[in-house]
Amino acid sequence: MFDKKKLETIKTEKEQWDCGPVEKACAKFPERKTTFTTISGEEVERLYTPLEVADFDYDTKLGFPGEYPFTRGVQPTMYRGRFWTMRQYAGFGTARETNERYRYLLEQGQTGLSVAFDLPTQSGYDSDHA
C-alpha cells in the first residue's frame, strides 16, 4: 500500500524522533505508566505511522463508507446527506404514557428513540425474576 522507499524514510525518522524529542520529553516528564492499554487490554503504542499498516489490505480491512466491513460508517456519503441519529432516552409511567411521549418526541423532530426499560431489564436481568 505504501512506497517501500518512503517506509524506510519514515522508519529512520521515527528512530530519530524516539532518540531525540521523545527521550528529552521523557527525561523531563516521565510517562505515567510503562504500558498504556485500551479498555479491552490491547496495548496502545505512543505513535502509529504507515509502518504499522505497510501490509494493510485496504479493501478487506477498511473498505468504503456504506460497504462491508462498515468501519467507515453505514452511509455511503457519511453524514453529508443524512444526519446521524440523535437518540432521546425516554420512557416513564405506563405503556400508554410512554407511547404518547415517543410520539410527541417524533413529532418534534426526534430522529431516533432509545427506550428506557425498567432497571432490572436495563441491567441485563429478567425483570420477572429479579
User: Which of residues 26 and 112 earns the better pLDDT score?
Assistant: 26
The mean per-residue pLDDT over the stretch 90-98 comes to 83
For position 93, what pLDDT does the model report? Answer: 80
69 within a domain of the structure (yes/no): no
Contact predicate 110/86, CB 8 Å = yes
In a domain, 62, yes or no: no
Residue 78 lies in a domain: no
pLDDT digits (tens, 9 = 90+) for 11-64: 999 999 999 999 999 999 999 999 999 999 999 999 999 999 999 888 888 888
Mean pLDDT of the chain: 88
Q: What is the pLDDT of residue 80?
A: 79
Residue-number span of the structural domain to which 115 is assigned: 87-122
Has residue 94 been placed in a domain? yes
In a domain, residue 68? The reply is: no
Please list the alpha-helical segments (H only) found in 1-130.
4-17, 23-28, 58-61, 95-107, 119-122
**Max mean pLDDT range (12-16, 83-87, 116-120):** 12-16
Residue 79 lies in a domain: no
Domains in the chain: how many in total?
A: 2
Q: What is the mean pLDDT of residues 72-81?
A: 82
Pairing of strands 43-44, 36-37: antiparallel
How far apart CA 71 and CA 56 sit, in angstroms, is 14
Question: For residue 76, is it within any domain?
Answer: no
71 in a structural domain: no
